[in-house]
């Protein structure tokens, strides 16, 4: 699918702010793919669709998670996690994206997963460091991303966990498994 067509499909699903974020993720993901030898076209497509389901009603997302047999423990955790697997599902069903690597990168863009592919990493990190993000610590992750993809990714996952802990929020187990897997592989 061409960029313009993909963007058109996504734009109508998102607020203007979220669409601008999506454009930032797209540019950042392409740049990371160039830098680290990833597939630029897949990075572009996964980035464009990564937040496709962000504004679906919770009830609709919940129904999809149940009907499609997605991990049912998602329902015990923050509903912010749901748009990732639901987005992968709807990108396929509604937009006809069939590339499994692209769909997996969308599916795991919020929690990560053990054994993340290069594309998974690019999308997770691009989502975190795109130019529209302004939270504390993001500049440091941007700098490390220029040198070492895995180190930057660990910082992003770690910051996300710390952010959740500070807000007294639960942490989805997959997020911890992602962190553990990345740390083990770094050694």
Which residues here bind Fe ion, judged by CB under 5 A?
51, 127
Is 28 among the residues that bind ligand DGI (CB under 6 A)? no
CB 176 within 8 A of CB 77: no
Q: Smallest distance, Å, CB 87 to Fe ion?
A: 8
Question: Interface with ligand DGI by CB under 6 A: which range of 27-35, 93-101, 145-153, 163-171?
Answer: 163-171
Q: Smallest distance, Å, CB 60 to Fe ion?
A: 16
Structure tokens at 10: 């996504």
Is 111 among the residues that bind ligand DGI (CB under 6 A)? yes
Is 22 among the residues that bind ligand DGI (CB under 6 A)? no
Nearer to ligand DGI, 141 or 187 (CB): 141
Among 127, 149, 155, 182, binds ligand DGI (CB under 6 A): 127
Question: Interface with ligand DGI by CB under 6 A: which range of 2-10, 33-41, 72-80, 134-142?
Answer: 72-80
Q: Smallest distance, Å, CB 161 to Fe ion?
A: 12
Is 51 among the residues that bind ligand DGI (CB under 6 A)? yes
Structure tokens at 129: 């460091």
Among 6, 110, 119, 149, binds ligand DGI (CB under 6 A): 110
For the chain, the C-alpha Rg in angstroms (whole number) is 15
Is 175 among the residues that bind ligand DGI (CB under 6 A)? yes
DSSP letter string, the chain: --HHHHHHHHHTTS-HHHHHHHHHHHHHHHHHHHHHT--HHHHHHHHHHTTTTTTS-HHHHHHHHHHTT--GGGGGS-GGGTHHHHHHHHHHHTT----HHHHHHHHTTTT--TT--HHHHHHHHHHHHSTT---TTHHHHHHHHTT-HHHHHHHHHHHHHHHHHHTT----HHHHHHHHHHHHHH-
Q: What residues make contact with ligand DGI under the rule CB under 6 A?
A: 51, 54, 77-78, 80-81, 84, 109-111, 127, 160, 164, 169-172, 175
């Amino acid at each position: 699918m061409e960029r313009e067509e993909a963007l058109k499909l996504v734009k109508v699903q998102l607020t203007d702010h979220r669409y601008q974020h999506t454009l930032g993720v797209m540019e950042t993901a392409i740049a990371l793919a160039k830098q680290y030898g990833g597939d630029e076209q897949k990075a572009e497509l996964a980035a464009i669709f990564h937040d496709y389901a962000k504004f679906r009603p919770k009830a609709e997302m919940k129904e999809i998670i149940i009907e499609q047999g997605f991990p049912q423990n998602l329902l015990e955790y923050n509903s912010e996690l749901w748009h990732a697997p639901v987005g992968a599902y709807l990108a396929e069903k509604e937009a006809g994206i069939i590339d499994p690597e692209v769909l997996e990168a969308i599916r795991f863009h919020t929690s990560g997963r053990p054994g993340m592919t290069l594309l998974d990493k690019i999308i997770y990190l691009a989502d975190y460091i795109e130019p529209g993000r302004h939270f504390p610590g993001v500049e440091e992750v941007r700098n490390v991303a220029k040198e070492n993809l895995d180190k930057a990714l660990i910082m992003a996952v770690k910051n996300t966990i710390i952010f959740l802990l500070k807000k007294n929020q639960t942490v989805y187990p997959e997020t911890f498994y992602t962190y553990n897997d990345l740390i083990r592989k770094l050694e």
